[in-house]
Structure 1
Amino acid sequence: MSSRSNSDLSYPSSSPNSGSENETANSGRRRGKRNRRVYFSDERRRKSGRIRKPAVDLFSALPDSLLVHVLSFLPIVYAVRTQVLSKRWQCLWTYTTSLVFRIDDGNSPGNGKSDDEFVAFVDKTLSLCNCSKIKKFGVQFVYESEYLSNVDMWTELVTAKGVEEFQLDFDCAFGEVTYSNYWLPQLLYTNSSFKVLQFNQCYVMPEGVVSWNSLKKLSIGNAVLSEDLIQKILAGSPVLEILELYCLFGFNRLHVSNASMKKLILRDICEEGIVPEEYQIFNFADYSVLEISAPHLHSLEISGAFENKICQLGDVSSLVDAKLNFHVTGYEDYCDIIEVFENMLKGLLQSLVHGKKITLGNWAIKLLSIMELKGLRSPLLKCECLTLEAGIRKSFFPGIAHMLESSPNLDTLVISVPSSSYDEDEEYFPDQLCKFDGKNYWTSRKKPFTCLMFRLQKVRFLGFRQYEVGNKLGYYLSFVRFLLKNARVLQKMVINAEIVGCNSQKEFSRAAQKLLSFPRSSPDAVVMFYE
């Protein structure tokens, strides 16, 4: 080969100033032939394997079954689009076993367009579906009665293919307040393939028995349920583990005797509402107490707004984890019936004395603050992990102290800041929570807490955000100083902050330096930021 191009490979020679003459010679001998430029003919390169082979298309090497499995994790609108990749991909998406249609999926048919286009897209996609079994099917859009035949067709098709997870999530049209639009077909009530069911804005009205023998999780929202209907559903779901009821009314007693039931979630339960004519067969007594009994339950969550409802817990003797993050609405003057709320919360805590993990929200903590200022005591709890989803502010101080005193076995304390700084419950009890010295509240406490002396080892502040920097920062520092000074066996304190903006970050940095200088009674205590 008589000429050399600039693309030829060559190794750099040694620098003349890189060492002694002997070292240079030895180095040259060691490298030997590697320093020479060697040129091969195309034939010799092929024989020596030096010609790079084209990159292998790893996706093309995968079996169809695995590719279909990958597609099942994509929103269906994106799975359908893969048909343009190549001839092989044209029909792969039709075998996916997960078909979830949401009108607000990015760039999906119907997003920013008409519901007619969205419904047509679901129709066409299901008509092209080639899989023999569907594992998951769901639709989420604003349902109108004109789509009745379409939804009936979808339901019949997917149930015939043994669907395991079935979701009908029908939003209300903007400005409308309605309960239940779509009548669930009777064929849905006797299906042993269901493992997960979710109904939102649907009439739940079984004419005969309910037979959901494989159902593990059931979620019903924006509907009317009578106590008899709930019992029929529970009786027909022998292996049900999770029950979620939200935005409902029509019942005042919930008794769950299923031995398999592990978790119950109640959100936004109403006392009154516009009852459709079809439900006039139910007897709506005007009660204000919701009684909950579930002897085999391990986890209970009560959250959201409970309109004109006072909650009472019956037998929940197996309960381990409880979350009380709800508030009662619908009363004109809360101050006149504050004792009713105090007794309610005291009764709830009495039922939770055996719980190992308890979570409380704003409303409960403020009630505890009022009780603490009145000198009212709560029962001693066996709680080992306490989470307060309220952040730190003056009105919460007495409530936090109340729980620390009532939890002698407390091992972990978590202070979790809500996602919004707006406190919708602030107007409920304004006067009772302002008549004490918040600045010196913790330093003025004389009586030690048992949990701080013998048990508390971990403290976490989660979700510390922008609006917590400023006036509330002093409340955090005073509480942290108190904990570090009195928690004798504390092992770790973690502060996870989400601070943006130069000024806020500087302020938080100064506060962090001050915090690290606080004295600690535990020699093993470590303070961490951003665990």
Structure 2
Amino acid sequence: METKSQSTLPNALPSGNSSEELDERRNSVDYISELPDAIILHIFSFMTTKDAVKTSILSKRWRSTWTSNQYMSFSLPLGSILKSFITFVDSVLLRCTAIKAKRFLYDGPCFALIQSSLDRWLQFAIKHGVEEVSVNLRYLRYKDFLLPRILFCCTTLVNLRVSQCCFRVFGTVNWCSLKTLRIDYANLNNDGMMRVLSGSPVLEFLELKSCVGVKHIMVESKSFRELVIDSHVFRGRASMLKISAPHLLKLRLLGNSRGGEFRLDEVSSLIEAELNFNMKIALNKVKARANLVKGLLKKLHHVTKLVMGSWCLQIELNAESVGHRVIAGEEFWNLVRWRIYQCLMHLKHVEIVDRGANLLAWEPVLSLLKFLLQNALWLDKIVINSTNSKSSQAFEPSPRLEVARILLSQPKCSPSAKVILRYPFQGCPSV
């Protein structure tokens, strides 16, 4: 007779099984345990460290495999018990058997209790030759975390992203392997930035988001390919951010900026540019802001792809209207034709972010697109991008289709020019 305890065993078999079935079950392969170490470690690269530790229950083989994980990812949700979290991370690092650390990520607040521990964890990763570091600190009301000085001498670092950290640079920076650098919400200064850029000889990508203090970005390296300035914060009156990078290929000026202006000194290798920023301006500053946009366009006359946001498109129109009769639409663009003629000689790709479901909102941009079709000699395509706009949630695409229809009916200076409508709903193809 079966006892109660026997019936609850996880490996208990139903009555009536043949000996052949029993032998087959005993000889069945445990595919999880048979996985090569390289595959297991690759699986770990997609997990948080907490989830990687949980895999220890899968099989005997996996009980300690997580200790050789090279990818350390720690996240501290709001409301978590700090001491328990710190104890967990310390325990993981103490049991770590990996000779090299591929990645270290921390996402969470930086309370006083965390700061010394985070400094210690970063030093552990750096001493293990870490290649990727991401520190995302949350909750602005708390004091910024001062990045350890040893980080600036990490020769194995390839990718670095820091958010809301105190980015003070002392002495020489030795980031001889760094290719990608992202800095968010930081106070910077020219001297520190120059040390960073001169100490990163193979840097390819730099992004500064909501940063304040830096006034000059100068990169002579031939490796430097892309620069993104997002929501730059200018400090002081007549403040300016100068950009000089002779080998730069892509430039993006984005977001909401406050005060100051951008100036391009040396960007002769640029092939793509995006001017999708905006600034709050008083009525008496309209012409000054229009001169800012004109100055940028003059430096970008040789690019083959130019993306412009609505603020940059409208600011010059507003400048022409201040103190004079209102000049709008195609009359305005024909008026300024010779000012932007150099741009038209090289322009190949134009992308417009969706203006909305209302056809009336398209009128200012529509007049520009008509002008470009009629005057840009080498224009290859105009892309109307609705895929990321809030208005794309509307179910009726007809206003965009009407815009495309109007453009397709216009005479074209470039025989190969195409008008493409990118819309997110299935069944609405590109025009």
Alignment equivalent of 2:353, drawn from 368, 381, 389: 389
Question: In the aligned structure 2, how far is the partner of 1:345 from the partner of 1:187?
Answer: 41
Question: In the aligned structure 2, how far is the partner of 1:384 from the partner of 1:267?
Answer: 25
Alignment equivalent of 1:352, drawn from 283, 294, 300: 300
Deviation of 1:260 (Å): 1.8
Alignment equivalent of 1:411, drawn from 380, 384, 387: 380
> Is 1:160 equivalent to 2:127 in the alignment?
yes
Per the alignment, residue 36 of structure 2 pairs with 63
Question: In the aligned structure 1, how far is the partner of 2:288 from the partner of 2:396?
Answer: 36
Per the alignment, residue 188 of structure 1 pairs with 151
Question: In the aligned structure 2, how far is the partner of 1:407 from the partner of 1:182?
Answer: 51
> Is 1:290 equivalent to 2:241 in the alignment?
yes
Deviation of 1:141 (Å): 0.7
Instruction: Sort the Cα spacing of 1:474 and 1:264 in 2 relative to 1 into closer, same or farther, 3 A.
Output: closer
Contact 1:227/1:253, CA 8 A, preserved across alignment: yes
Alignment equivalent of 1:465, drawn from 378, 383, 392: 392
Secondary structure of the structure 2 residue equivalent to 1:254: strand
Per the alignment, residue 376 of structure 1 pairs with 336
Contact 1:380/1:408, CA 8 A, preserved across alignment: no
Deviation of 1:111 (Å): 5.8
Per the alignment, residue 271 of structure 1 pairs with 234
Question: In the aligned structure 2, how far is the partner of 1:117 from the partner of 1:211?
Answer: 35
Secondary structure of the structure 1 residue equivalent to 2:74: strand
Secondary structure of the structure 2 residue equivalent to 1:323: strand
Instruction: Sort the Cα spacing of 1:475 and 1:217 in 2 relative to 1 into closer, same or farther, 3 A.
Output: closer
Question: In the aligned structure 2, how far is the partner of 1:480 from the partner of 1:141?
Answer: 49
Alignment equivalent of 2:287, drawn from 339, 352, 365: 339
Identity of aligned residues (%): 28
Deviation of 1:404 (Å): 4.1
Instruction: Sort the Cα spacing of 1:111 and 1:128 in 2 relative to 1 into closer, same or farther, 3 A.
Output: farther
Amino acid at match of 2:259: N
Question: In the aligned structure 1, how far is the partner of 2:386 from the partner of 2:240?
Answer: 30
Alignment equivalent of 2:167, drawn from 194, 204, 208: 204
Q: TM-score, normalised by structure 2?
A: 0.81
Structure 1: where are the runs of 5+ without partners? 1-41, 104-109, 273-284, 422-463, 501-508, 510-527
Deviation of 1:406 (Å): 5.8
Secondary structure of the structure 2 residue equivalent to 1:233: helix
Amino acid at match of 1:129: C
Q: Higher helix proportion, which one?
A: 2
Structure 2: where are the runs of 5+ without partners? 1-17, 321-326, 357-361
Contact 1:361/1:389, CA 8 A, preserved across alignment: yes
Amino acid at match of 2:393: Q
Instruction: Sort the Cα spacing of 1:71 and 1:202 in 2 relative to 1 into closer, same or farther, 3 A.
Output: same
> Is 1:363 equivalent to 2:288 in the alignment?
no
Larger radius of gyration: 1
Amino acid at match of 1:497: Y
Deviation of 1:308 (Å): 0.3
Comparing 137-146 with 152-161, which one deviates more in the overlay?
A: 137-146
Per the alignment, residue 79 of structure 1 pairs with 52
Contact 2:146/2:167, CA 8 A, preserved across alignment: yes
Question: In the aligned structure 1, how far is the partner of 2:74 from the partner of 2:244?
Answer: 37
Contact 1:260/1:296, CA 8 A, preserved across alignment: yes
Per the alignment, residue 137 of structure 2 pairs with 170
Per the alignment, residue 8 of structure 2 pairs with none
Secondary structure of the structure 2 residue equivalent to 1:209: coil
Two-structure CA RMSD over aligned residues (Å) = 3.1
Alignment equivalent of 2:211, drawn from 248, 273, 282: 248
Contact 1:71/1:96, CA 8 A, preserved across alignment: yes
Amino acid at match of 1:171: R
Amino acid at match of 1:318: S
> Is 1:90 equivalent to 2:90 in the alignment?
no
Per the alignment, residue 529 of structure 1 pairs with 429
Secondary structure of the structure 2 residue equivalent to 1:291: strand
Instruction: Sort the Cα spacing of 1:84 and 1:340 in 2 relative to 1 into closer, same or farther, 3 A.
Output: same
Deviation of 1:67 (Å): 1.3
Amino acid at match of 2:423: A
> Is 1:482 equivalent to 2:407 in the alignment?
yes
CA deviations over 1:482-513 (Å, ceiling 9, x no partner):
3156458569765443459xxxxxxxx8xxxx
> Is 1:129 equivalent to 2:96 in the alignment?
yes
Contact 1:386/1:412, CA 8 A, preserved across alignment: yes
Q: TM-score, normalised by structure 1?
A: 0.67
Instruction: Sort the Cα spacing of 1:60 and 1:483 in 2 relative to 1 into closer, same or farther, 3 A.
Output: same
Secondary structure of the structure 2 residue equivalent to 1:151: helix
Aligned residues: 390
Contact 1:366/1:399, CA 8 A, preserved across alignment: no
The 5 A counterparts of 1:256-335 are 256-272=219-235, 286-329=237-280, 331=281, 333=282, 335=283
Per the alignment, residue 5 of structure 2 pairs with none
